[in-house]
Structure 1
């Protein structure tokens, strides 16, 4: 089961990376087309008006998809900002209780958002909502990537709650900012012999 869950989180991050690559390619292509138009103007010709239709809409859709699809992987790798000032002041028992409480609350909020995003996707599908750009895109398609990202994040929260209840550490412990703090707190010397 652990391997399946890790594959789900990694696939979400991989899809997010592909959408970021798509943003880069679209923007680079549009910049190149703008450059051609500018060179035509400087050469004394009329600008052709080269443009990728609805490229701003597509980059916005890709940005939303990459942001939501990367949430679970980023959480598991310790990339989200966590305020741990209070947790470090508690003893181990209370720290464990607060860790469970924050994971349960985070999971509940994520499930709530996933539920209502699912309703939004369904409504957009049923009412055939379209984007307002030059190329009309059914809105349920970009909204579905948001829903998928929220579902994966909810699974990640549930996964961490189960791990913590079974006595293990959550996935993000010792990663991200915590790992950096541990390195800073470790005594360092200039010379190995000291």
Structure 2
């Protein structure tokens, strides 16, 4: 049941990333149409930038689980199963520490923006803590995904990102 809940969480985050990307597309199309009508779309660039950040951070956990984040496997892939497990544990532990560190500072940044009521300087005076929320949320989801894989490897299992990458290679898909 926990596995299903976590997978649903990762899919939900990917759906938010896709919705953000769609938002960027719609804003750009709207800008093109309005430009032809000699009408300005104030704040379009700002909104697109906020959505770009949201797209990136919301996609992290799902992309990681699917084995599509950049991962240097040259060394790990050549190791025997025992040393490979140790290397995976070390890499996942370091990734979890890095995610926790980034999570701490992005939360700190959001809270600081909230406290000082920081507003965007562009055409739309948006309270910046609102679009900044996508960063700690996305990093928190990535931290959960990394911890999920770490526990899988600790229990003696193979990480999902490795299974997914191997399945793509077995099908002849070397795109990632």
Q: TM-score range by the shorter chain?
A: over 0.9
Equivalent pairs, count: 172
Please, which of 128, 132, 150 is the counterpart of residue 121 of structure 2? 132
| 2:148 alignment counterpart | 159
Q: Confirm whether residue 89 of structure 1 aligns to residue 78 of structure 2.
A: yes
Find the aligned partners of 2:41 and 2:103 in 1 and give their Cα distance.
Answer: 32
Return 5+ residue gaps in structure 2 as ranges.
none
Taking only aligned residues, the RMSD between alpha carbons, in angstroms, comes to: 1.4
Q: Distance in 1 between matches of 2:9 and 2:77?
A: 31
Report the equivalent of 2:170: 182
Greater helix share, 1 or 2? Answer: 2
Could you state the TM-score of these two structures normalised by the residue count of structure 1? 0.85
Unaligned runs of 5+ in 1: 38-49, 185-194
Q: C-alpha displacement at 1:181, in angstroms?
A: 3.0
- Structure 1 SS opposite 2:118: coil
Shift of 1:161: 0.5
Say whether residues 1:173 and 2:174 are aligned partners. Answer: no
CA drift of 1:3 comes to: 1.2
Per the normalisation by structure 2, the TM-score is 0.93
Matches of 1:171 and 1:76 in 2, distance apart? 6
Give distance in 1, aligned partners of 2:119 and 2:113: 8
2:69 aligns with 80
